Structure 1
């Protein structure tokens, strides 16, 4: 039996057994049995007492079944779970849904029991969903093994929360949306988030994949699966809280202090083309906007309103969301004006100024002009459309006809058209939604979805980097060893010499040229400890600095380094930390001593390609400093990007490195120079992925 066969049995089994079926309405064994008995497939109820449940005969054990069940739902106390799984595997069961709790979530002993159980399941060629999960559902196969009824549709939901499935279903239903599949992750003991995403990519009935995850498990694997979904035209929308935070630790670098678990999630989402949202409501709205699968050419939005107030508000909300509301060309404005009354606004936003009541077809006539205009990328309708039917039966029918015309125009144009309406539950609003025009009760939600679609269209194709094979182990984490490691990878540093005495320091300065910097070795934060002396221009100054530093710190060694001219460049930071779920995560940002104050940083999964690094640099708030703001000479962004990419490659290829940082990287008009570096090695026997 292949893994794909077992997954098919999870979502479309020939027969089902529910172990722990109950008449007690407080138990999962009752809730799932109630749903299961509505299915059109053999369902066997198993209860150790053998008494009828829900008016149906039961079996005392799986061994009593007339034929093996392809899928077994286990809803018994944890003490009986393993025995039930053993019986199911012995009977030839292909898929097991573990409702029972009491395993990895309880600590080391529970994790060991769970691991042993999974080993037996996999050895038998079966799959396990959970344990500690809430069931499974597939509307395309008629499988209903969740605690509550769910609406059918084409959205797959993979979730660690059953309540979220219920809330999301309530939020999607007004838009006529529902679930193709629902799988409760539970402990992800066997079936992982990544594997379930891939199963939904291969599922013909799924168009959008929604994920609620608190622990991503193999985060890098999830990102790869999500990238496959994006490439297949199935958008992935993720809601997460905490993002599987690692145990609290004290970061030893600026990079470590600024990188959070959510930074790693965001980096993975960008790499995979995933949309991350903050609330179930935002998730539902974005799903509604993604389903028509119309990508805008750009951020230019035409606003079509039937009142001045709505026109003004929609225009401001759209711009606040990052969209553009450009003034129409004279030819387009004249064409719009020809369709409306003299009092109408025609420059963008368009204000019908009461034309809807006089002739409701003005909506579709103007929209026809807007969607054909090359300078318009998206259209936002806002106002009372959907409510005109309240003026009488004739107007109601005309509004429905116009709503149908609007959907046809949107489909033919292939551009995003969304509507905000004061009457989201009206017949006309339902016609819009059914025809692929997402409809919202709040204009900010409509504008937010358009902004999301615009940003999504601007992204490069998904790319999730592979972690390179591990290279020779780094044993030293001092500045000189780190400098050597990075220099070998192509990261340029100023000329330098390692010294131990004042005499050696003076000789080194004479050799490499003054002014120089003197740095003490053996200190993680050299500047904070007084282990750096800058701008030493003559032998006397260097000698005095060496003597004072040595007397104060008694460092194991020192470095004399050529002093770079900071006034010719921009100080940046490049670093990498290692996330327990997503692996190495790279960071770039404005650097120097104020890195943590400015907090102008961006993240990506390491190793970065130079193009990825340049994209992160251009996305910084301070990017104008790099590209020539206020008459500055632009820096060599390509050279900086190569440095950032090389740093990320080194860290990714050395799993023993927990944190690696170059700060500052001096971005110059004719190149880039690393001025300091630090490395933090993971503790021995630490799981570094």
Structure 2
């Protein structure tokens, strides 16, 4: 595939399957192109001499087109694609449905479609697409009812119906677009391709999208990060619930990944996530029209006490803060405002304020260096004309570099002032919370642009030793490994307590004698995952009791599950839990994003508390550090109620080593280190110890290397013991 410039800016567009028949998609597409397209529209249909008054050709090779729009029945789409490839048409939009979304036969047809596109190096949109638009040339190659207004938004959607609904709403509200794409089934071109293209497009101010799934999460993260450094990306991701994910799959054939993976992946990609259509266009509107704030401090100027309080609450809810005015600002406000006015933030110019008082207050607060952004909030009164207020706001904003949003609370009298404000690039709302949320979006994007992305953490490890441990599943009926795989962690330098898995009471006693102090003993069985629930764990076992405890653990396991595979008993050094914090480090392999690394509060409460943070691997040091700060129980790590803080660097290193392990070995489907005991800093000691582990391995993937695995990387570092 080549550049997408010609896809959006063609000189000639062929409609393969054009027809004059009323109600036909081929007629709608042809009619839309003939109505506004600056270039030439060429109908292709051997059954017509002309379509809608335009000469028709028999085959696509006669059209000499830059773009071909395919609207023929699904049974002959592949022939049409092949004809396009042979004719040298490099850009194809397949509107026809009946592919991956319809079942096995359709999926086979879609695979062949992708193969043909690859063979002929086609930029192919769809199938099952509404089509595409590009307003600079007036190109409306869709079967939607109307064209888009021109503007700076480029919009992609995995739902064609969402496109038509949005365009109908946008036309009523004066919202314009540069390009519009209905992604369809994404057999070839997907969201990553369009993010990449629009990131280089000087006429695209903001990229927005409705997504039901992402084809290649890792590639999307890398591409979006680069794009978001210059062009904001805002997306609604549906299918957040399990029911929603199933609906998304049946709707477009997309295999939706887990919500946690999308939440982490979109954040790491620098994508601003909207939860509704209102949020999507609120964010897009302000990002495309207002400067970014230097600080998170917001000033509110209002004539309405109650709405002012609502806006103040919204500031805290949005993660912003009320600006603290300088003494000069407060003095200036006190001098120009009535005695009854509140000259502190939020500034209440009181109900009898006219436009001049509003203007004076706004100009004063926005000149304060402590103010990063401002909200003008007005309710209708007999002394205030909204038309005049709108003009005053426009004039004031023209002379400032700080972002300003307006909130005009009213009905008919606000419509024209609101239109003029938005035409001037000043977003205007009825609800104060929406105004504050929009200002928060600017702060969020500022932070995204200021991010410094670090390389993933990388360590010298013993990959061959790790591979040998993973390969043991080939000799088992079960593909799950437990504490018998502790050597896997050792191979990747993850500290584990001293110990051994034994198969006799005599050997248990010998191992315990080599360990200082009492020991922990655990049943080892792939069939018994929750060992503590059946009494399969003994803590603080003295040397004299080790042999009897061995027999007792084996008996309990046999009584609990007679057919369970018992591999033995682990005899392990005790880790001091009094001074430590039980955490969990884990991974689940997501279908779209790959390894999703988890960190959180561990032990027996992990599933109850669900206090966890996630990142898509491979993870950098700053990302791992953020994970330790995000969880609600972070104060426990930093030292709470007189406890010593744990060695966070050791925890962060463990997260990095696990991230490298699961990236290197795609065969690892899921893995939990629980608990990972985080201990206070002690020179010379391992301050994060992996006490227990369980994982699931896909034997068929064992010979595959992850994308970051380097076969030349030296394996010289001695792992922690």
Asked whether the two chains share a fold, i.e. TM above 0.5, the reply is: yes
Shift of 1:170: 4.6
1:438 aligned onto 2:427? yes
- The correspondence for 2:520, drawn from 517, 542, 551, is 517
Indicate conservation of the 8 Å contact 2:157/2:209, yes or no: yes
What is the correspondence of 1:302-313 to structure 2 with a 5 Å cutoff? 302-313=299-310
Alignment of 1:641-660 (within 5 A): 641-660=652-671
Tell me: CA distance 1:483–1:531, structure 2 relative to 1, closer, same or farther (3 Å): farther
1:72 CA displacement = 0.9
1:527 Cα deviation from its structure 2 partner: 2.4
- Partner of residue 223, structure 1: 221
**Residue number in structure 1 paired with 2:280:** 283
1:400 Cα deviation after fit:
4.6
CA RMSD of aligned residues (A): 2.9
- Choose which of 151, 162, 165 in structure 1 pairs with 2:163: 165
**1: distance between equivalents of 2:328 and 2:497?**
60
2: CA distance between counterparts of 1:247 and 1:528?
A: 36
1:22-41 CA-to-partner distances (Å, cap 9, x unmatched) read 33443321221111002121
Matches within 5 A, 1:96-495: 96-148=92-144, 149-173=147-171, 176-231=174-229, 233-242=230-239, 261-292=258-289, 294-325=291-322, 328-354=325-351, 356-357=353-354, 360-384=355-379, 398-409=388-399, 412-413=400-401, 415-423=402-410, 425-459=414-448, 461=451, 463=453, 472=464, 473=467, 474-476=470-472, 477-495=480-498
Q: Displacement of 1:153 after TM fit? A: 0.8
Q: Distance in 2 between matches of 1:494 and 1:312?
A: 56
Q: CA deviation at 1:268?
A: 1.1
**2:499 is the alignment partner of 1:496:** yes
Query: Aligned with 2:141: secondary structure?
Result: strand
Aligned to 2:610: 599
| Structure 1 stretch displaced more, 541-550 or 101-110 | 101-110
Deviates more, 1:154-163 or 1:25-34: 25-34
Q: Under a length normalisation based on structure 1, what TM-score does the superposition of the two structures give? A: 0.90
1:453 and 1:680 mapped to 2: Cα distance?
Answer: 42
1:382: how far off?
1.4
Cα deviation digits, residues 138-178 of structure 1 (max 9, x gap): 11233221223112111111111122223333554566431
In structure 1, distance between residues paired with 2:73 and 2:454: 41
Q: Which residue of 2 aligns with 1:674?
A: 690
Aligned to 1:90: 86
1:61-98 deviation line (CA, Å, top 9, x unaligned): 335x3x42121111111012112222222222121110
**Deviation for aligned residue 1:248:** 10
Describe the shift of the 1:471–1:134 C-alpha distance in structure 2 as closer, same or farther (beyond 3 A): farther
Please tell me whether the aligned partners of residues 152 and 206 of structure 2 are also in contact (alpha carbons under 8 angstroms): yes
CA apart distance, 1:656: 0.3
* CA spacing shift, 1:455–1:528, aligned 2, 3 Å: farther
Does the 8 A contact of 1:370 with 1:376 survive in 2? Answer: yes
**How many residue pairs end up in the alignment?**
664
User: Bigger CA drift: 15-24 or 94-103?
Assistant: 15-24
Q: Is 1:538 matched with 2:535?
A: no
Residue aligning to 1:626? 637
Taking a change above 3 Å as real, the CA distance of residues 501 and 607 of structure 1, as seen in their structure-2 partners, is same
Displacement of 1:299 in angstroms is 2.8
Determine if the alignment matches structure 1 residue 72 to structure 2 residue 68: yes
Contact 2:300 2:308 in 1 (8 A): yes
Q: State whether residues 271 and 462 of structure 1, in contact with CA within 8 Å, keep that contact through their aligned partners in structure 2.
A: no
Partner of 2:596, secondary structure, is: strand
Cα deviations by residue, 1:569-614 (Å, 9 ceiling, x for unpaired): 2211111111111111111111111111111111111121222111
Matches within 5 A, 1:8-19: 8-19=5-16
In structure 2, what is the equivalent of residue 254 of structure 1? Answer: none
Q: Is the Cα–Cα contact under 8 Å of residues 355 and 362 in structure 1 kept in the other structure?
A: no
Give, in whole Å, the separation in 1 of the partners of 2:323 and 2:555: 66
Q: TM-score, normalised by structure 2?
A: 0.86
Q: What's the secondary structure of 2:321's corresponding residue?
A: coil
- Equivalent residue of 1:658, what SS? strand
2:596–2:615 Cα contact (<8 Å) kept: yes
- Cα deviation code 1:92-126 (max 9, x no counterpart): 21211101112222334333332223222332232
Gaps of 5+ in 2: 247-255, 473-479, 559-565, 682-686, 707-721
When residues 369 and 25 of structure 1 are mapped into structure 2, their CA distance, relative to the original with a 3 A threshold, is farther
Change (3 A) 1:342 1:467: closer
Give the CA deviation at 1:492: 1.1
CA drift at 1:466: 7.6
- Partners of 2:331 and 2:168 lie apart in 1 by 44
In 2, distance between residues paired with 1:28 and 1:672?
63
